[in-house]
Chains A and B, each alone.
Chain A
């Protein structure tokens, strides 16, 4: 198996349109949550979201624009000189082109003809295709729609192909834009908090929705060293599982999530004592956070007492299909800089979340390896294992 490293990272978020701007704002305790203006939903009780300061293009969805911008930052001028058939592109998607379909349906309901783009246009793979064209890839492409764990599995797909020696370079990540379907959907499930969300808090009352894009460039360690690339972190493996418990709610004791984390440690060949950070799913819904903390304890045992836990949902809201990639980005930068980004607005922790959830302020500490969690509807659990790069 080849060793696989992250050599590029691009972020477009509601905090900033670039990686370092986003990261420095996170460490400074800022969030990107504000009034919802992208969508007009006057009857919805919650009017808060993590909006990105970009708009769709004339012939581009917002997802595509954000993803391409994040990719350009991740590539940082890299023009791969190798075989294009050994470059793959893997993306996680949630809503993707859904706003296009919503607009068409609205037109039809109003008795108008509507602008009928072909079904392919609303397909989430349009983003994957656009990224592949930008990077000149002729290898495999994959578009994962595992709801909120999509982009983490996309990174896992890239890892397994690079590790197996099938590819030299891969682009992986996710992009998500706010749309009415998800806003109305989570709202009718009573899962949206009208205030800013409070992961792991005793008074948490639900999530905020967000949007953005994160793109990673991954390559084999040998390839990265040969071209003198900057190495952000090493990907050791991932784990995946299903709860088989409920269509939307997590297993209350985190049984499936714990199996995903344990599988990630197994595939990565790392002991529980090597983990210093969990970049949590941490949605701030009453059901998720307690179950996730239980799962962390199940997976890590006594080592859980020493880990730092953090949730990017407190900065960006829940970016759904891109959420796993946002969690991975936070973990990668934490491993690079040896500092954990804070969980904002964590005033009083829920006793069910009795781990070090990094309340309110960033925390400098030694960070060797991190687990990144993303869980989804359908009881779908993903956990990615990353390690600090300290040289060969």
Chain B
């Protein structure tokens, strides 16, 4: 990624600790994990649910009923991000791109659609639920809600899909296909996900996720919204950025082995140039295959500050890496390095500069 400076001017958060920036800051400050036994409707087991989520006054009740959880979270997070950036999206809809990252996109609705179909046949199939089965349902709902008419991409990938969404947004801005990009990470909990996590022995059976313990992950949910634009575009609007996206890089290994992925993450960091971070945010989630990558990176750079790993507080899936970017923006820093490992595929690293907690 090179060329024009890109800046983040808006931030919106729906997290298990509550909605908004203040709730997230308080959560990071306390360091208390948000895991609890989940309501039965979301699945059997422990996880980090957005129990305090409040869409009142933002999503009209008629619309709310038609939305899956990821779309609801995304709608509210986007609302916050536009407000934070001082941008009325309806004034420039054709010039706003939307990119969404998710690990579970469409899956919650697919279960809600298929469960009655499998039990009752075609009469159980709901034409209201099916449109949400596509992973890009959230971007479609956002387009309708905010009048967004620019390019759109939904990337469903591993634990860092939102970094891929950020990369696509940056590319469209640089190509001049949009002036502003709304980047969203969003995931919602659903029973089948909990079932699969437990059955595949991914989920921690006892206690909370702990880096290096091999105990396993706990699932979470939520959405994060980031407004990305060129620095000169933000300045022309009189907006002071929350951060400069100095660099973003991804690498993969040709065999997806553990050492290969570890090397790929290291190469992604190297591709950013001289990073010398003042602050570190990482993507360890309690699952050995991800934790080992972060541990290896820390051992290779003993002078770096100790990394904050927000998935230990808010869970895996809850924004597919968006949580990491959010945490990076919640403390002022001259230079914050974010690493976003994944269980296969692309390994991401991002460098944020001039991070301002309260830019206004």
Contacts and interface: CB of A to CB of B under 8 A. Distances in A.
Contacts of B144: 244-247, 379
A284 B114 CA distance: 26
A380 B156 CA distance: 16
B156 A247 contact: no
B157 A123 contact: yes
B147 A133 contact: no
A242 B98 CA distance: 9
Contact of B130 (A106, A189, A379): A189
Contacts of A239: 151, 177
Interface in A132-151: 132-133, 136-147
Contacts of B110: 98, 101, 181
B133 interface: yes
A108 B114 CA distance: 12
A188 B127 contact: yes
Residue from the set B106, B141, B167 with the largest chain A CB neighbour count within 10 Å: B106
Contacts of B330: none
Interface residues of B, number: 74
B177 A263 contact: yes
B252 A247 contact: no
Given A129-B345, A160-B175, A181-B113, A118 B202 contact: yes
Interface string B129-140: 011011111011
Given A146-B154, A378-B136, A120 B343 contact: yes
A93 B153 CA distance: 12
Interface string A40-67: 0001100000000000000000000000
Interface string B107-127: 100110111011101100111
Contact of A133 (B134, B149, B199, B255): B255
A242 B100 CA distance: 14
B197 interface: yes
B254 interface: yes
Contacts of B126: 188
A302 interface: no
Interface stretch (A109-117, A226-234, A362-370): A109-117
B94 A104 contact: no
Contacts of A259: 94, 149
Contact of A145 (B121, B122, B154): B154
Contacts of A246: 144
Given A93-B156, A243-B149, A105 B118 contact: yes
A185 interface: yes
B103 interface: yes
Contacts of A256: 149
Contacts of A245: 144
Contact of A119 (B103, B111, B143, B157): B103
Contacts of A109: 115, 118-119
B288 interface: no
B122 A187 contact: yes
Contact of B171 (A114, A146, A160): A160
B356 interface: no
A138 B140 contact: no
A114 B254 contact: no
Given A105-B115, A113-B199, A140-B346, A244 B93 contact: yes
A157 interface: yes
A241 interface: yes
Interface string A254-286: 001001000100010000000000000000000
Contacts of A136: 254
Contact of B131 (A137, A184, A247): A247
Interface in B242-261: 250-256
B155 A379 contact: no
Residue from the set A44, A93, A188, A190 with the largest chain B CB neighbour count within 10 Å: A188
15 contacts: A85-B267, A93-B156, A98-B110, A109-B119, A117-B200, A119-B200, A125-B345, A138-B251, A143-B157, A145-B135, A181-B110, A184-B117, A241-B149, A242-B140, A380-B140
List the 10 closest pairs (A to B, CB-CB), nearest first.
Answer: A378-B140, A116-B199, A240-B151, A145-B135, A118-B200, A185-B130, A188-B125, A147-B134, A242-B143, A244-B143
